[in-house]
Structure 1
Amino acid sequence: MRGLENCRVARAQCHLLSHASGLQPPVRRSRVASKMAAFCEEFTLCTLAGAGGAPQGPLGLEQDADRVLLTDRGRTVTLYKVSDQKPLGCWSVKQGQTITCPAVCNSETGEFILVHDDKVLQIWKEDDTNLDKVFKATLSADVYRIHSLPYTEPLVLFKGGAVKNLDALLAAPQQEIENIASDEVIRWSDAFRKGEQYALIFITEQDGNCFIYVQQSNPYILQKFKLEQGGESSTPLSFAAYLKDKVVTLLCLYSSGCLYKVLVPLQWSDSEEEQILQKSLLIRLLVSGSILKRTSIAILDKDHIAITGCLDSPDGNIKGHFSIWNIKFQTLQASKELPWGTTGQCWCYGDKLFVTHGKELTVILYKCQTSSLAAAVGKIKDIQISEIKTVPVNWNILQEDDLICMQPDQPVPAKGESNRLLRSRKNIGAKTQLEILTVKQLLSIIKDSSQNIIEEKLKTFLSSTQIPDFQASVGCILSALVNKCKSESSFYPHNCLVQLIQTQGLSYSMCPDLMAVALEKTDIHLLQLALQQFPDIPEVVTCACLRAFLSIGDDRLEEMNLHLDSVAGCVDIVHNNKTEQQSKVIQNGFSSEPLEEESCDTQLTQKSQVMDANDICPVGPQKATLLNTILRSAYSETFLLPHLKDLSAEQVILFLRYLQYLYVKCSEDATMDLPGMFCLTINQIIDWICLLLDAHFTVIVMLPEARKLLSKLHKFVRAQVRFYSELNKIEGSLNQLQMLQQPKDVGLYSIEILKL
């Protein structure tokens, strides 16, 4: 029971100490590989609320910088930080109340606004915890939507078609609201800012007819148009619009799979006749007799849109699809299936697409290049099919009288070459031309040649003066090498892989199989380089590397070529200069001597540390540098914890002993970190101790050999908590000194007694 109590206290105080210093664990950052109009990486932001186990799409999603405000179809609004994939705050209305309007953020005040039960408007800030205590206003009419625009007060659109500025509405919440769209139902709305004015557009439906309303401010102008019905029997499902040159371009997607474009002018017309807006067919989706259901459109840029929805085929098979289309050339750029189904909702903010997929809200990163005819018809191929997408031309070296057409298989001239050299290059012999490799040629060599030849050719390729589209080229070569490793068990070009990683132009997402192959081959050196340079390694791979590092013997590691920069001044000192450690003065309020329970209030004194057998590093320098690489890796605690449970009890104890040793080293040093190129901070060490205790709490308590370790951890943490407590007292004293009135003139020399 004593061990159990120590473990609980150590874990709790480790968390306390970690947060007391104001630093947080590192967060995973992803780097997107360069691709043509396509989907890139994706991850799950959160789980969606559902009724009866069925996924239920959110009521709305609004962006606020790197954060999104998610409103579900019930009582809850949640604020998420997208880069960290974690919630920052959650608010709920009372039981029996229902949110009927998606929450938005007022960019001017930083406040959040929502409407529940159609008429009750609430405004709160991020530090508010209870919506019952925030501002409320009951309006006189039902609200359809609130639109938030930058540098402008939010606009409130009522179900009757009236639009009010939020400030004007809050001045008199019970003011009468006019009914503009009588007997019509609003289906969609959006707002745009143009200079100091705004334009709000909404679409209504009545008896199968669609009407378009446009309201502008300063001066107040309201326009009404009728949308051309046409001869088809399909119905409009979703809309999207953008403003350009005083014309709103409206995109309408119908259940037949046809996407139409409608131009809505913003100029005022004195004509009293009802204006009918013509629609022109933009894209006909290939649905082959299927019917579209639950769809939405997201505008990515002026030439690309994303469409998500479900296809209901005649045999009753409903499939979810997500695609990117080029509306300039009417071509499909990328497509993917959503096997878990979708509610057909999609939002686009920056380079991220938010899509409902099954019971989850998925974030998909995308990238679109400038639209060109070559890209639209597929003449510019993706790098994954062994060709370079574009060939850069250095216009600085081309003169008006000497224009040279660069071909994909020709090397790019180095910057600063004269026209004479460029002209002479045309006469270079065939032998010289063969010596300068292109990516296409090198990929062919990798496919058919031996390992020695590949290493020689790769070295020649990387030594070139300039390589077109360097990052994409290196990623393509790396993928080709890894694919050959997977298909041929005897092929493993370690030197080639290390050379490519050392170019520092790669990431895990560019070749996810690389580290899996390295783990299979137990290539510790390559794993170390990847952990040091790749910013987007998943937690499951990080834990797999940790297991490999802990299980390999120190004698085997001594034979490997590893960089020991991360243990410089740490492990080497312990093994080579113990006397220096023994005479070192204790700093930073740390003492390794046992603290008695009744000595909590005793004065901290500096004492010499006497090293015992347990203070020696439990691993060798090679294993220590590998473990330090793991400690410096970016991670998300939510995703890391489940995989840490795969460690064996022996591995956990060894890792905890090493973390305890590092904790002692950091606590002795007043700089709060360890020396070396890849330094560790005390917060990183404490966070990993907490993670291990959380993942293996029961196992550690039951192991007899862990009791002494837990007891020492408990005493170390208590010493640090006491030290921080003393610092807090000093801080309070200094604050009191700062508040004292300073004398106007104390002369050249004076002595004062200040009483606190």
Structure 2
Amino acid sequence: MAALYESYTLCALSEPGPSGTRTVEPDQGRDRVIITQSGRAITVYQVSDQKPLCSWMVKQGQCITSPAVYNSQAKEYVMVTDEKVIRVWKDEDISIEKAFKATVSGDVHRIHSVPGQEPVVLFRRGAVRHLDSLLAAPQQPIEELLSEEEQIRWSAVVQTEQQLVLLFSTEQRGEHHLYVQRFSPNSLVKHKLRTDSKNSAPVSFAAAHRDGNIHLIYLFPSGSVYESVLPARSGGSSGSETLLPLLCSLLLQLPVPEGELTSASALPLDEAHVAVVGVPHPSAGAGKDYLCLWNTHFQTLQASRELSAKIYGQMWCYSGKLFVPHGKTLSVIPFECQASSLATAIGKLKHTSGTNEGKGPTLVPSWNTVLHGDQPQTEGVTTRKNPTLKKNQASCPTAEQLIENIKVCSVEEVQEQVEMFVCGSEPDVLQLAVGSVASEVVTRCQTDPDFYPQSTFTQLLETHYLCHSVCPDLLTLALEKKDFRLCQLCLQLFHDLPEAVTCVCLQTILSVQDSELESVDLEEDSLLFMKALSQTDERSDEDKGQNGFSAPVVDEESCDVAPESQTKDTKPVRHRLFCPVGIHKGALLNEVLQTSYSDNLLLPHLKDLSVSQVILFLQYLRFLYLKYSQDAHSHIHALRMPAIAQIMDWVCLLLDAHFTVLALAPEAKGLVFSLHKIVRSQMKLYAELGKIEGSLELLKKSKWSTETSQYSIEVIELF
């Protein structure tokens, strides 16, 4: 299986479209990349911190024609301006103009570099040179291997086990060729590239080294993804005049409902998974841009993510992260690809988790069932057929029939047919169709106020095939109907919620009265956690002082006593903590705390909260923090509870978003004073943890004495 994790913005693009981001190249470490923008600017970014480390810009009138790359051997950056001027500089160089530059005799198409290898220079007329040999004699003659009308459309360098291999494709009068340049021994092989049934050229290329061969992936406008396998070693001393056949096989057929792809890209991630950007999602409508991960072995969609604004068919992959420009934003999307098997691809293996405990065993059909439709034989389970299940499978409507019936049938009929469809459909069919079914039900609810099948939404959500990107209006509908049970399920199961939607949920939950939520049928586990958390403080004084122990007096660093609770004549005492919200509202707020988000994207939307909502939410976060500080949560056996880090992150975000308002509001004075103590105690804690970490690092690096006997005691002092 494959998964896409929470994305974040690396930087803003100065110009939208392919000209805005020329390329993203790896830098010195796994967490650094070089971004060349708009033909003039080069910036090195720390990916994890989303922070620019250094930046350079060429003079007005100059243009970067080959994006910057990093030469790991010389620890230098290299780029080409105005097609013939090669510039080389280091990290400490402030201005590119003062760095080394050399003018060559031919037009450069691209400089390619991989870690640990010398960069290679590809000229527009097909000649190739190593960078060092070219800079030693910049005016050396450059041969022309391509004809005058033949243009290079794509190029890449692949690191094999023995050497570098340079590949580039060309176009001449509708004919497309692939050139493979090897260096030891030096050879250039020319292949004829195939076209699809409409004689269209590929819209994207990608190459990777795997299993001793070079795998070339190219995507056609029709949605067909083909693969060609090339040997890493040269098979002979062929020249560019010799035209060799290039065998290919259909790797993946992507759904393209109407028209052709114009700006899309396919990128291999491993031997079984391909990332595709710019291809319509099977369950989404037209006009929406998606990033999808496909399993090529079983032709199944594994993960998807809707991207805002327009996608330009560009994508790069480094260190388990995808870099995708869309609109005026360059997003980083971490991903993971697990080992591929037929059982996981079609959903036959259900990984049991804490949320599925107590729901009975999950039966995995045998391979005879999967391949031939034979009846499974499971040990310890009766083999008598369930008449209801058999009836559901026999009368199960297709996705197309169900969508048409949803438009006209009553609530009860829709609920019954959706239940039959969910119970009787195969997992792979259900995975592709559940988004369309949910969207149609939501559309009917929006046009018909009397139509609202709540159990249908619950059934579709519990398939775990539904996400916000597939049906973005579902959570909005739940908030309009004040269906907080459905809202809770969406917060739990939707891992791609936009930050704006998360804030709308938070605003709605904070604004509703506790009395309105008391009758809502929320998940029992979340309510038990809140009840137990609220009851942990209701202990008698005898319990607090049992076994000869009593709670210590609160000192000045404590954060669980309000400043007004201390007087001149009394000693500081520990007050009981009261939850500022009801049990049901607290359960919903806990779900919001556990959603995924990006700080930079969430912060602007938090400013939409009113002052009263911010104060109430901060009071609840303070209540949670103080309870966690007393280890009250450690005695509660709940499957889902917010972490202390999530609580502190939300506190900091709210304070950042409403700092001025909270500083001026009189009713927030005591709250801010208490939160200041909380932050100070956390800083003190992490400072001490940092000291321990440093001591452990020194201990790890220290050399152990080898002159010890079989039994010895050594005393290590940590400072």
TM-score band (shorter)? 0.5 to 0.7
Cα distance in 2 between the residues matched to 1:640 and 1:755: 41
* Residues 737-752 of structure 1 mapped to structure 2, 5 A cutoff: none
* Equivalence map 1:623-662=2 (5 Å): 623-662=585-624
- Deviation at residue 704 of structure 1 after TM alignment: 0.5
1:612 alignment partner, SS class: coil
Q: Alignment partner of 1:115: what SS? A: strand
Report the more deviating stretch, 429-438 or 172-181.
429-438
Counterpart residue type for residue 658 of structure 1? Y
Q: CA deviation at 1:680?
A: 2.5
1:487-533 deviations in Å (ceiling 9; x for gaps): 22112222332233234343222321111110000011111121122
Q: What residue is the counterpart of 1:450 in the other structure? A: 410
Distance across 1 between alignment mates of 2:560 and 2:515: 33
| 1:256-655 alignment runs, 5 A limit | 346-347=314-315, 359-360=328-329, 396-397=368-369, 414=376, 436-440=394-398, 443=403, 446-459=406-419, 462=422, 469-562=429-522, 563=524, 564-567=527-530, 569-574=532-537, 584=551, 591-592=558-559, 610-612=573-575, 615-655=577-617
Comparing 353-362 and 294-303, the one that deviates more: 294-303
Query: Distance between the aligned counterparts of 1:249 and 1:749, measured in 2?
Result: 60
The offset of 1:551, in angstroms, is: 1.3
CA distance in 1, matches of 2:515, 2:492: 23
Distance, in Å, in 2 between the alignment partners of 1:464 and 1:754 is 66
1:356 Cα deviation after fit: 6.2
1:697 alignment counterpart: 659
Q: What's the offset of the Cα at 1:475? A: 3.8
Counterpart for residue 77 of structure 1 = 43
Cα 1:252–1:708, aligned 2, differ >3 Å: closer, same or farther?
Answer: closer
Read off the aligned partner of 1:502 and give its amino acid letter: E
Matched, 1:215 2:178: no
Displacement of 1:700: 1.2
Contact 1:47 1:361 in 2 (8 A): yes
Instruction: Work out the CA distance in 2 between the residues paired with 1:532 and 1:303.
Output: 27
**2:163 aligned with 1:200, yes or no?**
no
Q: What is aligned with 1:102? A: 67
CA distance, structure 1, for counterparts of residue 560 and residue 290 of structure 2: 63
Give yes or no for contact 2:217–2:267 (8 Å, CA) kept in 1: no
Paired residue secondary structure (1:510)? coil
The answer as to 2:631 corresponding to 1:669 is yes
Q: Quick one: structure 1 residues 137 and 205, their matched pair in 2 at CA, closer, same or farther if it must change by over 3 Å?
A: farther
Which residue of 102, 115, 134 maps to 2:79?
A: 115
Given that residues 77 and 103 in structure 1 are in contact (C-alpha distance below 8 angstroms), is that contact kept between their aligned partners in structure 2? Answer: no
Number of positions where the alignment pairs a residue of Structure 1 with one of Structure 2: 620
Q: After alignment, is 548-557 or 647-656 more displaced?
A: 548-557
Structure 1 range deviating more: 722-731 or 203-212: 203-212
- Cα 1:696–1:447 shift into 2, 3 Å: same
8 Å contact kept, 1:79–1:87: yes
The more displaced of 641-650 and 172-181 is: 172-181
Q: Kindly tell me: are residues 695 and 639 of structure 1, through their superposed partners in 2, closer, same or farther at Cα, counting changes over 3 Å?
A: same
CA positional deviation for 1:716: 2.9
Alpha carbons 2:10, 2:330 under 8 Å: kept: yes
Residues 110 and 473 of structure 1: CA distance in aligned 2, closer, same or farther (over 3 Å):
farther
Q: Percent identity?
A: 33
Partner of 1:181: 144
Change (3 A) 1:590 1:701: closer
Mark the CA change 1:701 to 1:629 in structure 2 (over 3 Å): closer, same or farther: same
For 2:126 and 2:309, locate their aligned partners in 1 and report how far apart those are by CA, in whole Å.
Answer: 37
Say which SS state the counterpart of residue 536 (structure 2) adopts: helix
Q: Please say which structure displays the higher CA radius of gyration.
A: 1
Q: What's the CA shift string for 1:282-304, capped at 9, x where partnerless?
A: xxxxxxxxxx9x98976779999
Corresponding residue of 1:38: none
User: Any idea what SS the aligned residue of 1:77 has?
Assistant: strand
Aligned 8 A contact 1:588 1:669 in 2: no
**TM-score scaled by length of structure 2:** 0.64
Tell me, which stretches of 5 or more residues in structure 1 are unaligned?
Answer: 1-28, 33-40, 228-235, 255-260, 280-291, 309-318, 325-337, 367-391, 407-411, 597-607
> Is the contact between residue 586 and residue 668 of structure 1 (CA under 8 Å) also seen in structure 2?
no
How far apart are residue 455 of structure 1 and its match? 3.7
Counterpart in 1 of 2:251? none
Residue 91 of structure 1: how far off its partner (Å): 2.9
Distance 1:359-1:510 versus aligned 2 partners, 3 A rule: closer
Query: Match for residue 359 of structure 2?
Result: none
* Cα distance, 1:611 vs structure 2: 3.5
- Change in Cα spacing, 1:110 to 1:470, as seen in structure 2 (3 Å) is farther
Task: Report the AA paired with residue 650 of structure 2.
Answer: W
* Shift in Å, 1:437: 3.3
Determine if contact 1:186/1:202 at 8 Å carries over to the other structure. no
CA contact (8 A) 2:531 2:583 kept: no
Deviation at 1:218, TM superposition (A): 1.8
Distance between the aligned counterparts of 1:304 and 1:732, measured in 2? Answer: 42
User: Retained in 2: the 8 A contact 1:71–1:77?
Assistant: yes
State whether residues 140 and 177 of structure 1, in contact with CA within 8 Å, keep that contact through their aligned partners in structure 2: no
Residues 1:59 and 2:31 are matched in the alignment? no
Partner of 1:25: none
- Cα–Cα, structure 1 residues 211 and 178, in superposed 2: closer, same or farther, change >3 Å? farther
1:339 and 1:222 mapped to 2: Cα distance?
A: 42
Specify the alignment match of 1:332 in structure 2: none
Residue aligned with 1:93, SS: strand
Instruction: Please tell me whether the aligned partners of residues 569 and 676 of structure 1 are also in contact (alpha carbons under 8 angstroms).
Output: no
In the aligned structure 1, how far is the partner of 2:51 from the partner of 2:543? 47
Q: Deviations over 1:337-376 (max 9, x none)?
A: x99989x76346599997766645589999xxxxxxxxxx
Q: 1:92 aligns with which of 49, 55, 61?
A: 55
Farther off after superposition, 240-249 or 153-162: 240-249
Once the 2 structures are TM-superposed, how far is the Cα of residue 559 of structure 1 from its aligned partner? 1.7
**Are positions 1:191 and 2:157 aligned together?**
yes
The Cα of 1:656 is off from its aligned counterpart by 1.0
CA–CA separation in structure 1 for the residues paired with 2:94 and 2:599: 30
Q: Which amino acid in 1 is paired with 2:666? A: P
CA gap of 1:622–1:246, structure 2 versus 1, over 3 A, is closer
Q: Which amino acid aligns with 1:437?
A: S
TM-score (norm: length of structure 1): 0.62
**Residues 103 and 139 in structure 2, CA contact (< 8 A), matched pair in contact too:** yes
Counterpart check, 1:716 vs 2:678: yes
Change (3 A) 1:667 1:754: closer
In structure 2, how many angstroms separate the alpha carbons of the residues matched to 1:661 and 1:365? 34
**Residue 145 of structure 1 aligns with which residue?**
110
Query: What is the root-mean-square deviation of aligned Cα atoms in Å?
Result: 6.5
SS of equivalent residue, structure 1 residue 669: coil
Between stretches 562-571 and 518-527, larger displacement belongs to 562-571
**Counterpart Cα distance in 1 of 2:691 and 2:162:** 53
In 2, Cα distance between equivalents of 1:67 and 1:546: 35
Counterpart residue type for residue 219 of structure 1: P
